[in-house]
Amino acid sequence: MTAAPSPRCYRITELTTEQLRARLPEALQIYVTAMNYPPATAQQRAPMWSAHMLRAGWRCIGAFSDRDELIGIGYGYLGAPGQWWHEQVRRGLLSSGGDADSWLDDYFELTELHVHPGSQGGGLGEEILRRLLSGAQGGKVLLSTPEGPTRAWKLYRRVGFADVLRNYRFTGDPRPFAVLGRPLPLEAV
């Protein structure tokens, strides 16, 4: 018996909060699968993703298969003091001697970017990233990603992300992360 072919990307589109809420279980399943997290992580993250949708500058891009299945998701919003990630990165930059004021002023936080593993490797992640950032507010974009050689690392380096903070451990996660950033807008390809 041969495996069914991976669904191909049919369309990439901006999603409203209502559209993402309707597809939140699918989006969280992509997140859990792509990050190799335990299935219960989806239930834990759902309230957080819902709260993120209410933040200033929030925008989301979804990629759909020819069967109308969500196969890729990316979203972010304007980072600001008082937000958990902002405060974690600020603490890390201050303790490492980094320039917290420069990086954490006027930035778009690329919060999530995930492509289902069966659809990875064909440029879909980069297309989602470029579309998401093409309309993003802010003078720069910041993100965090686990340390290590991954497709995500190759993508971020390819589009010009530089090190902001390396080997940082966020509260509640023992893995080392990198915080990467770059000015906006991205160059056209």
Q: Taking a C-beta distance cutoff of 8 angstroms, is the pair 85, 109 a contact?
A: yes
**Distance, CA of 32 to CA of 26 (rounded, Å):** 10
Which DSSP letter does residue 118 get? G
In this structure, are strands 107-115 and 140-146 parallel, antiparallel, or unpaired? parallel
Residue of 31, 77, 107, 156 with catalytic role: 156
Nearest to 24 by CA among 59, 70, 56, 86: 70
31 annotated active-site: no
Query: Reduced to 3 states, what is the DSSP secondary structure of residue 157?
Result: helix
Phi first, then psi: what are they for 31, rounded to 5°? -55, -50
Please, which residues have CB within 8 angstroms of residue 68's CB and are 6 or more apart in sequence? 10
**Distance, CA of 88 to CA of 93 (rounded, Å):** 9
Which residues are catalytically annotated?
A: 156
